[in-house]
Amino acid sequence: MFNIIIFGPPGSGKGTQSARIAEKFNVKHISTGDILRAEVKQKSELGRQAQTLMEKGELVPDDLLIKILHSSIEKNKDAAGFIFDGFPRTIVQAEALDDLMKELEETIDVVVSLDVPDNEVVDRLLKRAEIEGRKDDNKETIRNRLNVYKEQTAPLLAYYMKQGKLESINGVGSIDKIFEDVVSTLEKYLS
Ligand code: B4P
């Protein structure tokens, strides 16, 4: 299996690049944001619990996310690998993912971190608000999402750096150029 994590602040292009990576490397795209939004749409019990938190830009509790991830992996055991998009977002989630991988006798091969400054992500998310109308893409929530990222998610950079798996990529520029850089980085891990 080829197992990749895509990492970065909200609006850094994780979802955008993941869709392309999944196609190019034939890996299964698991986006926890997409899964949660689908649950909200279906008005499931999980969706109901997640909705208020997502609209405030807060993280959904670790135990719920770990369950979601577990069942997504179970359903796709035959995949040639995974691209994890939006997961892990806390150290607890990262440790749970390491445990899950161990159970499968697998490992995370590489963590691609997209570097994008705050002003650029705010601009992108406000632009997306005009197009898609996502409830969490408003000024106040975006500010909170960035704070949550810095406090709870950014510490994962050191976690994966210590494991020697971190690859930082400049996430500013055209989507095609960023994808080119991502592909050449990932290809190093295949040979
Ligand atoms: P996500 O869906 O993961 O939202 P996100 O961080 O904003 O990233 P997304 O993938 O959507 O955006 P992208 O950067 O691709 O999470 C939403 C919420 O769900 C979280 O706040 C949290 O509440 C909850 N959640 C999800 N996972 C969780 C977890 N593991 N634990 C707890 N809670 C969790 O793109 C942004 C925009 O930029 C797009 O419009 C795109 O078109 C544009 N763009 C992309 N690349 C560009 C480029 N190079 N130049 C210009 N624009 C670009």
Q: pLDDT of 65-117, one tens digit each? A: 999 999 999 999 899 999 999 999 999 999 999 999 999 999 999 999 999 99
CATH number of residue 129's parent domain: 3.40.50.300
84 within a domain of the structure (yes/no) = yes
76 within a domain of the structure (yes/no) = yes
At 24-71, the pLDDT tens digits run 999 999 999 999 999 999 999 999 999 999 999 999 999 999 999 999
CB of 13 closer than 6 A to ligand 1?
A: yes
Structural domain span for residue 54 = 4-180
Q: Is 134 among the residues known to form the active site?
A: yes
Q: Do residues 23 and 184 lie in contact, with contact meaning Cβ atoms separated by under 8 Å?
A: no
CB of 186 closer than 6 A to ligand 1?
A: no
Which H/E stretch holds residue 77? none
187 within a domain of the structure (yes/no) = no
CB of 126 closer than 6 A to ligand 1?
A: no
Q: Is 143 among the residues known to form the active site?
A: no
In this structure, what are the phi and psi dihedrals at residue 160, rounded to the nearest 5 degrees? -80, -25
In whole angstroms, how far apart are CA 23 and each of 20, 62, 88? 5, 28, 21
38 within a domain of the structure (yes/no) = yes
Q: Give me 14's structure tokens.
A: 């994780």
91 within a domain of the structure (yes/no) = yes
Q: Give the three-class secondary structure for 54.
A: helix
Number of domains into which the chain is organized: 1
Q: Is 37 among the residues known to form the active site?
A: no
154 within a domain of the structure (yes/no) = yes
Q: Which atom of ligand 1 is nearest to the CA of 114?
A: 14
| pTM listed for this prediction | 0.95
Q: Judging by beta carbons within 10 Å of its beta carbon (0-12, 13-18, 19+), is residue 81 exposed, middle or buried?
A: middle
186 within a domain of the structure (yes/no) = no
189 within a domain of the structure (yes/no) = no
